[in-house]
């Protein structure tokens, strides 16, 4: 049996680096763009060892792009505007859970397995199938019964499918 590799569509920083990046972004949260850029350049120089380690890790994982640019944009446009996690949120009442039928989940899993196998590159033994493309194909092939249409919104079914895609594709062995 041979295990396949799936193409990674989202690359995340390590938790330690994310913490440092978030700390930097919070310190410079209210800086104008020129001051933020100057502080960024100084921070990159100060933490060059940690940044180099993160660059090596992401490169080994297959990231193909400007990693420093990804770091800068994360700090400037995401972590800087992220609300502080120390505030307590008001607890909202839970919505009633509507689950998928077992038959529907089996259909999804069967479709995912077939779709990933169909889009397998024989040379590298990697699948080029994305979850979004697989879901679009699933919608074309399968239709909902009236009962399922009442129970599920489009977004609920899509979320269920993509979660199943992740679970099935990570455990798919030939």
Q: How far apart are CA 152 and CA 156, in angstroms?
A: 6
Q: Are residues 115 and 58 in the same domain?
A: no
pLDDT at residue 72 in the model: 92
pLDDT at residue 92 in the model: 87
Q: Are residues 108 and 73 in the same domain?
A: no
Q: How far apart are CA 77 and CA 79, in angstroms?
A: 6
Contacts 24+ apart (CB under 8 A), 12-18: 13/54, 13/58, 13/71, 13/74, 14/54, 14/57, 16/50, 17/50, 17/51, 17/54
pLDDT at residue 130 in the model: 84
Domain range for residue 133? Answer: 102-170
Q: Are residues 19 and 67 in the same domain?
A: yes
Burial class (CB in 10 A: 0-12, 13-18, 19+), 127: buried
Report DSSP letters for 130-171, one per residue.
Answer: -HHHHHHHHHHH----HHHHHH--HHHHHHHHHHHHHHHHHS
The domain total for the chain is 2
pLDDT at residue 52 in the model: 94
Q: What is the pLDDT along the chain (174 residues), one digit of tens a residue?
A: 566 666 666 788 999 999 999 999 999 988 898 999 999 999 999 999 999 999 999 888 888 889 899 999 988 888 877 765 556 678 888 877 777 778 888 888 888 888 888 887 777 667 777 888 888 888 888 766 555 555 555 567 788 888 888 888 777 644
> Is residue 155 included in any domain, yes or no?
yes
Q: Please indicate, yes or no, whether the overall pTM of this predicted structure exceeds 0.85.
A: no
> Is residue 1 included in any domain, yes or no?
no
Per the structure block, which two tokens stand in for 130? 């994305």
Q: Are residues 107 and 163 in the same domain?
A: yes
Q: Are residues 109 and 74 in the same domain?
A: no
> Is residue 131 included in any domain, yes or no?
yes
> Is residue 84 included in any domain, yes or no?
no
């Amino acid at each position: 049996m041979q295990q396949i590799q799936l193409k990674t569509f989202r690359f995340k920083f390590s938790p330690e680096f994310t913490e440092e990046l978030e700390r930097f972004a919070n310190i410079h949260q209210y800086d104008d763009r020129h001051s933020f850029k100057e502080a960024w350049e100084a921070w990159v120089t100060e933490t060059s060892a940690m940044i180099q380690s993160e660059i090596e890790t992401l490169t080994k994982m297959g990231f193909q792009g400007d990693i420093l640019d990804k770091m800068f944009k994360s700090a400037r446009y995401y972590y800087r505007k992220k609300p502080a996690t120390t505030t307590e949120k008001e607890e909202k009442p839970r919505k009633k859970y509507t689950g998928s039928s077992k038959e529907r989940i089996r259909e999804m899993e069967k479709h995912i397995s077939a779709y990933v196998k169909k889009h397998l590159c024989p040379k590298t033994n990697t699948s080029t199938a994305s979850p979004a493309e697989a879901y679009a194909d699933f919608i074309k092939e399968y239709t909902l019964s009236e009962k399922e249409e009442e129970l599920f919104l489009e977004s609920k079914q899509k979320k269920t499918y993509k979660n199943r895609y992740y679970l099935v594709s990570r455990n798919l062995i030939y």
